[in-house]
Amino acid sequence: MNDYLIIFLIFLLYFSPVFYQIFKLLRERKEENKKLLKRLLRFTKYSLLLLIFTSVIFGILSHTNYLNYEKPLSFDKYDQITFQNFRGLEFFKKSLYGNKRFAYVVTTIESDFEDNSVTIESLFHPSRSFVYKKNTNSKELLTHEKYHIKITELFVRKAKENISKLNSFDEVKINEIIKKNKSAERKYQQEYDYNTFHSYVLSEQKKYEKEVDSLLDLLSEFKNPKITINDKN
Amino acid sequence: MIKIKHLFLIIICATLMSCNSDKYDFPLDKRYWDNNDYKEAILELRFGYEDDEKKPTFDDPEQRMIVQKLTDEQNFKVVLTDKELGIKHRNNVSTKFFEHWQDMTQIYQERDRKDNYIYDVEMLAVWHFGLGLQLDYFNLGNEDIKNRADDPNSVRVKNIINKNIGTLVSNYIIYLDEVNEEKALTEEGKSKLAEGIDKYFTQLIELYPEANYSGMKNKAELMFKKSESDKIKSSLTKLIELIDSKKKVELD
């Protein structure tokens, strides 16, 4: 039987006299009982509010660690990134496939439109990225995680390459291109993790490193976050 | 009042439904099992099951995944054949895998009152895992010896390596002992035994064509006389022919 079920049943059994009393109280709707019931309901209400408040705080900190916040870093800071920048908190996941020495990185693709230009950037979110131990000396793990950042940058450059081919500045089309590249990036990131099995398969890891580096080099002309489109008609 | 009663009922039902009834916890969603996974899985399979409890078998749709994962050669190949990794590291990993495999052989050894194997196909799958593993294990060990030697071509180093290959061949011969037990195997088991000879013995001889296979040939001939299974006899004939063909090349 599942451990949680056992705990739950023990809890029910243990508090069964309490539940029974509440049950009896609810049945006997006398005046004095009503007072007690009101008090109980008020107590339950405050307990629930406290629980909701704590859960919200817990959820916010799980998502972004505002207690140790560092603003998102753009790709030009790539070389400065170490595990010291991984400031996220992880309350639940204690291992990855049984391995306690794990990390994950959170990256996003952000865009901002201006008159006839668009700025597209890959961002690394330190306070949402997690490592099991900040002072770990695992270079392989860091390399694996940092290539996730490079992959995001790769798809940002691909998006900019696609946008540069547009004849006119069309926000709808640009948004479509960004959306398409975002979804391609997610797929590629998943494939990268699957094929390297989170860097366990070193030959695959090296293969990806070569591929990503050479593609980034090929798209180096799209390094600049801002891309301006002048009407070609 | 009725609402509260219903709420309780819903909570209990939801809890019961969300419960995972699996008694054993194998990391089946993990793509490759490492040495730690093997350690845990072998412990569970050897000592976690009650005496009369059925162990995972290939014909059990619910538990098939466990034995498939346990005997999946990719688990060791992904590390041992990865040339990006150092030989010392791979050699250490292969040594641990070899030790785990020795423990693994105890999982499916049970027999019934008529001396038949209860899990013959699974027992042979574990054997195959070990035969495949030993090819990489001995190869890496020998590579490591060569790397560490001042003169890899010296007579001393060659003797050590030849001795290791001799041990590997002897280990393979132990597999042929199972032919003595063919009466304890089902027809499927006999086919599996024959498959093992076809696949792994061919790989061994192709990898070390110059090794001494006289002992293996002698054993194969004796087993051929003893066996009553056409499939096993056919595999043994092919093995003897392969050994002879390599000898011929050597003489030429």
Q: What is the pLDDT of residue B17?
A: 57
Q: What is the pLDDT of residue B26?
A: 92
Span of A136-145, A153-162, B3-12 with lowest mean pLDDT: B3-12
pLDDT(B1) > 90? no
From chain A, pick out residues whose CB is under 8 angstroms from the CB of B21: 1-2
SS3 A47: helix
For residues B191-199, average pLDDT: 97
Residue A172 at interface with chain B, using a CB cutoff of 8 Å:
no
- The answer to whether the Cβ–Cβ distance between B82 and A203 falls below 8 Å is yes
Question: What is the nearest CA distance from B196 to chain A, expressed in angstroms?
Answer: 28
Name which residue leads in pLDDT, B66 or B52.
B66
**What single DSSP character describes residue A103?**
E
The per-residue pLDDT of chain A, averaged, comes to: 89
Residue (of A147, A136, A121, A77) closest to A222 by Cα position:
A121
Chain B residue with Cα closest to A97: B30
Q: What is the pLDDT of residue B222?
A: 97
For residues A100-123, average pLDDT: 92
| Confidence band of B22 (pLDDT split at 50, 70, 90) | low
Query: How many Å apart are CA B136 and CA B172, to the nearest integer?
Result: 14
Residue A207 at interface with chain B, using a CB cutoff of 8 Å:
no
Q: Are B246 and B205 in contact (CB under 8 A)?
A: yes
Query: How many Å apart are CA A11 and CA B176, to the nearest integer?
Result: 58
pLDDT(B5) > 70? no
In a mutagenesis test of the B interface, which of A15, A20, A203, A207 is the best target, namely the one with the most B β-carbons within 10 Å? A203
Instruction: State which amino acid sits at residue B91.
Output: N
Helix-strand-coil split of chain B, %, nearest 5:
70, 0, 30
Q: In sequence order, what E strands does B61-158 have?
A: none
Interface A:B, Cβ pairs < 8 A: 42
| Confidence band of B93 (pLDDT split at 50, 70, 90) | very high
For residues A98-121, average pLDDT: 91
pLDDT(B18) > 70? no
Q: Are B44 and B56 in contact (CB under 8 A)?
A: no
For residues B61-73, average pLDDT: 95
From chain B, pick out residues whose CB is under 8 angstroms from the CB of A194: 31
Q: What is the pLDDT of residue B248?
A: 67
Query: How many Å apart are CA B4 and CA A87, to the nearest integer?
Result: 43
Q: What is the pLDDT of residue A3?
A: 65
A123-156 tens-digit pLDDT = 999 999 999 887 888 899 999 999 999 999 999 9
Calculate what percentage of chain B has a pLDDT beyond 90.
Answer: 85
Q: What is the pLDDT of residue B14?
A: 61
CB count, 10 Å around CB of A214? 10
Q: What is the pLDDT of residue A86?
A: 94
Helices (H), B105-153: 120-148
Packing angle, helices A171-196 and A139-164, rounded to 10: 150
- The answer to whether the Cβ–Cβ distance between A202 and B32 falls below 8 Å is no
Q: What is the pLDDT of residue A196?
A: 96
In a mutagenesis test of the A interface, which of B10, B16, B19, B40 is the best target, namely the one with the most A β-carbons within 10 Å? B19
Query: How many Å apart are CA A138 and CA B153, to the nearest integer?
Result: 37
| Confidence band of B11 (pLDDT split at 50, 70, 90) | low
- The answer to whether the Cβ–Cβ distance between B20 and A201 falls below 8 Å is no
Which of A5, A27, A205 has its CB closest to that of B15? A5
List A124's β-bridge partners, or say none: A73, A107
Scan residues 3-42 of B and list those with Cβ closer than 8 Å to A: 4, 12, 15-16, 19-21, 27, 29-32, 34, 36-37, 40
A167-223 tens-digit pLDDT = 888 999 999 999 999 999 999 999 999 999 999 999 999 999 999 999 999 999 999
Q: What is the pLDDT of residue A211?
A: 97
- The answer to whether the Cβ–Cβ distance between A98 and B84 falls below 8 Å is no
Question: What is the nearest CA distance from A156 to chain B, expressed in angstroms?
Answer: 30
Q: What is the pLDDT of residue A1?
A: 54
Q: What is the pLDDT of residue A32?
A: 74
From chain B, pick out residues whose CB is under 8 angstroms from the CB of A206: 84
For residues A23-43, average pLDDT: 77
- The answer to whether the Cβ–Cβ distance between A200 and B20 falls below 8 Å is no
Name which residue leads in pLDDT, A24 or B117.
B117
B138-193 tens-digit pLDDT = 999 999 999 999 999 999 999 999 999 999 999 999 999 999 999 999 999 999 99
Which of A5, A97, A197 has its CB closest to that of B16? A5
Question: What is the nearest CA distance from B197 to chain A, expressed in angstroms?
Answer: 30
Q: What is the pLDDT of residue B74?
A: 97
In a mutagenesis test of the B interface, which of A2, A6, A18, A102 is the best target, namely the one with the most B β-carbons within 10 Å? A2
Which of A4, A26, A203 has its CB closest to that of B83? A203
- The answer to whether the Cβ–Cβ distance between A5 and B84 falls below 8 Å is no
In this prediction the pTM is 0.81
Q: What is the pLDDT of residue A57?
A: 93
| Confidence band of A88 (pLDDT split at 50, 70, 90) | very high
- The answer to whether the Cβ–Cβ distance between B84 and A206 falls below 8 Å is yes
Question: What is the nearest CA distance from A99 to chain B, expressed in angstroms?
Answer: 9
